[in-house]
Amino acid sequence: MSIALDGFDVLRRLGAHAGIFTSIRADVDKAARVLVVKCLKAKSVGIDALRDIQKALGDNSFELVLEGLKDGEVTSLLTRLDQHHPELKLNGAAPAWRRQHLKALAAGTSHPSAPPAKQIKARKKTSIPEPPRLQSEALDVFRQGGKDKY
């Protein structure tokens, strides 16, 4: 018989009694960071979930997690969360700016950019004149599919 371990409960108790578990402090810190980063990278995490994660962790812990992200991870998150921001499409956008923008999105001081309005190109309507048709009684019968009887 397999017993399921409630990981959240165990981690909560580890945190409540951190003095007892000093020998595994570094492992707990690493595991917590890995779990939060994995949660941030989940495709189901949108702006609302990002803000909820930031509120749950608190400003300081959330900033430490963001500072530990690689530049590519920050870019990946921003591309998914604020894909229409014009600065993100620039290759020269500074990694520091990207981190700051991600923090602002999480804090709610910045909002995702709206998609650009689609420009409708006016097309010049060119009508191709219909070529003159051959006129004969036989072709008229052919065009009508042989419906007329003689």
Can you give the pLDDT at residue 33? Answer: 94
CB contact at 8 A, 114 and 124: no
pLDDT exceeds 90 at position 135: no
Q: In whole angstroms, give the CA distance from residue 61 to residue 48.
A: 18
Can you give the pLDDT at residue 20? Answer: 94
For 32-49, give the DSSP string: HHHHHHHHHH-TT--HHH
The Cβ of residue 87 has, within 10 Å, a number of other Cβ atoms equal to 14
pTM here? 0.68
Listed by start position, the domains of the chain span 7-107
Can you give the pLDDT at residue 139? Answer: 67
* Confidence band of 137 (pLDDT split at 50, 70, 90): confident
Quick: pLDDT tens for 57-102. Answer: 999 999 999 999 998 898 889 888 888 777 776 666 688 888 888 8
